[in-house]
Amino acid sequence: MAPMTRSFSPHNVPSDQVVEYYRRRAAGGLGLIITEGTTINHIAAHGYPNVPNFHGEQALEAWRKVANAVHAEGGKIAPQLWHVGAARRPGTEPGGQTPGFSPSGMFMPGKITGHAMTKDDIDEVVQAYAQAAKDAQQAGFDAIEIHAAHGYLIDQFFWAGTNQREDEYGGDMAARGRFAQEIVSAIRAAVGPDFAIILRWSQWKQQAYDARLVETPEALAEFIQPLADAGVDIFHCSTRRFWQPEFESSNLNLAGWVKKLTGKATITVGSVGLSDEFLPESANAGFKEASPVNFDELVERMENNEFDLVALGRSVIANPDWPKLVQAGKFDQLKPYEKRYLESLV
């Protein structure tokens, strides 16, 4: 299950309804659940209301219940650890009027709207990620995922458009990746060698769907290998359409290229089993409705070892038991995704 923001955690604490939401999907046959984005313990981490914390006694106890419920159904679970960076809207609680933090104070290229992080800020955020990962391990989770995609904080460091720093965290791709490498290294030191670290990243940004961090396989290798060396076990390669080749030289998608270059396990994602991509051309219009379609190409790519895992989003909002239905060949029972499903947790 792919991470999907649901915003059903009043006071930033997962409710019993959230516990049941994840339990039901584990019961439906999902092998690994990656939770919605959960915010680390930093004053500027939050960007949206009713998003759950991954810190504080109440929130951690609630997440322990989620992990236990998923395990009782035979599933595995990882929290997605999140800092929104410059996407923060001042006034969001917790944090109040704290501005968005980012490498250069920019959410959009060329427009400073928030706080450019100091070295002390960077160190504080790195340690907050490490503490959240350690808390996840102690709460019984099976892995953690670092949200480094879609134009949020870590991706704002990756992207030259929002990273105009002139210190060791800005400049070429290696320098822009330093912040993420430090986070991964700090997490690895906190959790030891045998706890899985997943990193989700993307070429596209919510600020610019056509943005690209790398244009060639060679540039991708330069970007991704230091993250693998720092301790990432699995790369979750976020694309809007899993079937699209990443580079002209091959039919491999982004997850396929990352696996080929690093030898690490990868997760593919992007409109799996659905008739339309998950976002329209305007980000304000919300997730697109879509009907089930066959996924013969997905199976073929999987059998060719292009990637190791497949993440489902809208499909398992509409169909909590999607894996069991597909395994049984009951394709006619798969329901289309409709926007109304976002109005409640079912």
* pLDDT tens-digit series, residues 52-94: 999 999 999 999 999 999 999 999 999 999 999 999 988 998 9
Cβ atoms of residues 223 and 155 within 8 Å = no
Considering 22, 152, 169, 337, which one is annotated as catalytic? 152
pLDDT for 283 = 47
- In three-state secondary structure terms, 214 is coil
DSSP E strand boundaries for the chain: 32-39, 76-82, 101-102, 106-108, 111-112, 115-116, 143-150, 196-205, 234-238, 265-269, 309-310
Residue 233 has a CB neighbour count (10 Å cut-off) of 16
Q: Is 341 a catalytic residue?
A: no
Report domain extents, the chain: 10-343
* Answer CATH for 10-343 from 3.40.640.10, 3.20.20.70, 3.30.230.20, 3.30.70.270: 3.20.20.70
The Cα 316–Cα 124 span in angstroms is: 36
Read off the pLDDT band of 239 (50, 70, 90): very high
Asked whether residue 284 carries a pLDDT value surpassing 80, the answer given is no
pLDDT for 249 = 85
- pTM of the entire predicted model: 0.94
pLDDT for 286-302, tens place per residue?
555 656 666 888 899 99
pLDDT for 295 = 80
The CA-CA-CA angle for residues 330, 331, 334, to 5°, reads 105
Q: What are phi and psi of 192, to 5 degrees?
A: 85, 180
The tokens describing 287, both together, are 């997730």
Cβ atoms of residues 272 and 224 within 8 Å = no
Closest CA to 200 of 26, 56, 1: 1
Distances in Å between the Cα of 181 and the Cα atoms of 13, 129, 167, 175, 260 are 29, 12, 16, 10, 20
The Cα 319–Cα 71 span in angstroms is: 20
Q: What are phi and psi of 81, to 5 degrees?
A: -95, 130
